A = this chain, B = another copy of it.
């Protein structure tokens, strides 16, 4: 079922470093580190942008000549009350503003966990939340990127837990405005992954990589560096490229173990494994 792997080896030009991978560093330190290591693209997280202020962050990134592949994250659309939903919408609008200010046209959506047992109701809330946010995002020139998470994240992070589901949801909106993220960590287990990725063609606005460690004991911060686990990242990259995606590839390794490492060594390892394993 695996297609023959014909993808050309990657160079570091395609690499975007997702900030959480090297959370030892502030945004300013990350920008400097990327310059030292020849990395041209980053994906910041909102709370780390806030530490510096959006305007200063945008200037810092711009002055360094870096690109921003996406901002992490908007979403968390499910809420029990109108007040909470309104608050979520306001926060999502601020996230859109921040993405635009940082020069990114892509806001990643982690859609939020279900408030109760009714998953269908939660999923309907998520669709409504995206619909409510959409006009503002269009005006701001920011595309919304639904990221399906791993099914184990359903209780705390998102009711959207498969690529099939995220694609069906994205297809309810216009292609220029709503896309999706293929994060290998979240979707690699799908026995029809190649077909699911093909079905998402035209909607893929980001590709994220890390690895699934055979023994995963931390469901939130237990990801592996590319090459240390069981995901065939090169095959998946081939399928994503076959579906037409040629943009930056974000390395998003959320790992308490790796955060103990020296940050410069970790970034060097990211660059090395990116070209060797993806």
Contact = CB atoms under 8 A, between A and B. Distances in A.
Interface string A98-116: 0000000000000001101
Interface in A139-165: 150-152, 154-156, 160-162, 164-165
A162 to B, nearest CB: 7
A118 B219 contact: no
A231 interface: yes
A120 to B, nearest CB: 4
Identical copies of this chain, number: 2
B119 A232 contact: yes
On chain A, which size bracket covers the interface?
35 or more
Contact of A191 (B1, B123, B150): B123
Given A117-B231, A230-B114, A232-B118, A152 B155 contact: no
A76 interface: no
Contacts of A190: 162
A19 to B, nearest CB: 25
A49 B48 CA distance: 55
Interface stretch (A29-37, A209-217, A261-269): A209-217
Contacts of A151: 150-152, 189
